[in-house]
Amino acid sequence: MNRVRLTYLVTTLVCIALMLVGFFAGVKPQLDAAVAARAEQMTIDAQNATLELRLADLARTRDELDVHEAELADLRRAIPAEGAYDAYLDEVYALARATGVAIDRVTFGDAVPNGAPADAPAAPTEDPAEASGSSAPATDTATPAPAETTARADAAPQSAPASGVLLAIPVQVGVTGPGPGVLDFTDRLQNGDRYTLVTRVSLNSDEDAGDVLGVEATALLDGFVWALPE
């Protein structure tokens, strides 16, 4: 092998070596970086897709927030966190005005945990015949219904609600008015904003026939309202 060929061979080997060094020193790291960047981009794309789904769910929840808040407000009116006696009295008197009857009394018993024996609401002073359950006809000189302020003064019991327990509050409502109005009031009271369970209705009319649709009637409604302290 002459010197020229040897020179070419050495030169070729040196060039190949330089190319290999350049590839491993410069090109391969760049290729590895590009592969890593591509993998990272795929991961970011997947995370972005997940975030877009979550944002869509949050947007849908935000759009439904007003509906949920309205439902919660309705539930809180039906079963408030406290006794809310004044609000209940407002509703009772509004129903009385709407049905054309007069409120004789509204009394509450002490709040007790739901399911426990509840004391009946303390009844105001009554006529002895009425207290004994007599259905004697009422006269035109019957004592007028007490004013709303009188019922409010004696309405709320003194016991404070316990926290975190569904409370049953006995309630007694007395009404007087036309028979259809009394029946309508009884129905509306059970379907009002405040959830009221009427467990007993004592109904008397001016006539012994028992038909209250065309005569003056008096009803005494016993039942329960509830509270759910937070």
**How does pLDDT run across 75-130, given as a tens digit for each residue?**
888 888 888 899 999 999 999 999 999 999 999 999 888 876 665 565 443 443 33
- pLDDT tens sequence across 156-177: 554 555 566 889 999 999 999 9
Q: Apex CA 123: angle with CA 117 and CA 128, to 5°?
A: 125
Question: What letter would DSSP give residue 22?
Answer: H
Supply the mean pLDDT for the chain.
75
Q: What percent of the chain has pLDDT over 70?
A: 67
Greater confidence, 70 or 14?
Answer: 70
Q: How confident is the model at residue 1 (pLDDT cuts 50, 70, 90)?
A: low
CA dist 26 → 16, 19, 32, 162 (Å): 15, 10, 11, 76
Domain ranges of the chain: 1-63, 80-227
The answer for 164, left when phi > 0, alpha when psi is -120 to 50, beta otherwise, is: left
Which residues lie across from 222 on neighbouring strands?
172, 200
Q: Which are the contacts of 52, defined by CB distance < 8 A and separation ≥ 6?
A: none
80-227, CATH topology level = Alpha-Beta Plaits (3.30.70)
